Amino acid sequence: MELRDIAWAKLNLTLEILGRRADGFHELRSLVAFAGVGDTVAFAPKTEPKLKIVPPGADASPRRAFALDAAGPFATALGEGNLILDAAEAARARVPALAEGRFRLVKTLPVAAGLGGGSADAAAALRLLVRASGGAFSMRDAEAIAPDLGSDIAVCLRSAPALMMGRGEVVAPVAGFPQCGVVLANPHVELATSAVYGALNASPLEGVREAAPQPDFGGSFEALIAYASMRNNDLERVAIDLAPEIDAVLERLRGLDGERLVRLSGSGATCFAVFEKPREALRAAILLAEQEPNWWVIAGTLGDPSAG
């Protein structure tokens, strides 16, 4: 039986870079939410016996425990390496009895787009392995291996509004996040996270990280906007320097009727506009897609996708 999950698109409503750490990573603080749109990841456990007799002269190379098929509008943009298989192999290294199988990815999110797509795919794969393992591999196991796989995977595992800190591995839930609308737009520009951070030239981190106050929005959209408006995405200026098309996307989003917050997500090049009501976002996305047919444009509902 094939199991399915959604790899939800991650948005950084704020992204503060506190400094460059001694280990080369950047210390950050980011308010994260998930947009209610994403890739689809499926997993089918193998049913054939694990041990096979190899005839003389046949290829006796080790059989891979996991395989991956990819389809969808952005499947051709995927590189040879894939975090889904990396995550599955790491899970099996932790629990050797883990069921083998084949993953199927329908890639509908742009690649290298600041949406945590690869991390979200890997997180969905880990959730599927938890479901397929019959209790042998738990969410606690998944959370234990997540930081070594990628900085965004820990927050993508839960796919709920959170404050992300450290290099991304410290995740604190956020209370009272209001449901609201969002429009995502990408001019079909790929922007590698490593290139943006490499050009950032952040100052070395000094002192001890202060504990960040945990926001509680109490379900108030205005409280969310006030919090986010007081903070920036510190990667935005660097990303625009590397991909000037981003500036045009931000300007177009600022012109949408009803938008309350416009930002670059993560390291880009996807930008977003937040609306109080999902229906406002849907109307704005339809209009923007008509006006910019060469962009990737989609509307979503910002918050906790699992709550809907």
Residues designated as active site: 10, 152
The phi, psi pair for 154, rounded to 5°, reads -60, -45
The type of residue at 86 is: D
- By residue count, the chain amounts to 308
Residue in 89, 91, 50 with CA at minimum distance from that of residue 67: 89
Considering only CA atoms, give the Rg of the chain: 20
Residue in 44, 79, 26 with CA at minimum distance from that of residue 205: 26
In sequence order, the β-bridge partners of residue 31 are: 163
The CA distance from 70 to 93, in Å, is: 24
For 234-246, letters b (16+ CB in 10 Å) and e give: bbbebbbebbebb
CA distances from residue 258 to 112, 153, 182, 249, 290 in whole angstroms, order as listed:
28, 32, 11, 16, 18
